[in-house]
Amino acid sequence: MINAAKFIGEPEQLPFQYSKLGIFRYLEMISNHHAKTNYINTDLEILQKKDLESQTKLLQTLEIYLLNNCRIKPTSEQLYIHTNTLKYRLNQITDLTSIDFDDFHSRMQLYIDLQLIKQRS
């Protein structure tokens, strides 16, 4: 648990019980594997670049949307934005990338890669 907190750098994100760490338990190993294989999630790279250029919050929106199981209402409430604003951002994300929100495995990979991007920042 201590190693996961050190790696993430944001211990407030982690649960207090080791059994509830979930994917956070494996992030350091995944990060090392990505480094060895030079893996970069190009979709997230595109969104990150867009965020820097246009002061958008597409990566944050994507993360919160994934955390809310791709549900509009709880995501918009957590982001303090109107549902139409959220839908607009999600349309931007799908227009800029090849992200498929209907594919569970893609959503999991996105979440993992988002956590690794946050860790590097």
Range of the domain at 29: 1-39
Check whether residue 67 and residue 80 sit in a common domain.
yes
Is the pTM value of this prediction over 0.85?
Answer: no
Mean pLDDT over all residues of the chain?
86
* CATH code (residue 45): 1.10.10.2840
Q: Do 62 and 93 contact (CB within 8 A), yes or no? A: yes
The pLDDT of residue 10 is above 60 = no
Check whether residue 23 and residue 62 sit in a common domain.
no
Whole-number Å distance between alpha carbons of 63 and 66: 5
Check whether residue 54 and residue 24 sit in a common domain.
no
Check whether residue 95 and residue 117 sit in a common domain.
yes
List pLDDT tens digits, range 80-120.
999 999 999 999 999 999 999 999 999 999 999 998 888 77
Check whether residue 92 and residue 60 sit in a common domain.
yes
Amino acid, single-letter form, for residue 11 = P
| Structural domain count, the chain | 2
Joined together, the tokens standing for residue 119 give 């860790």
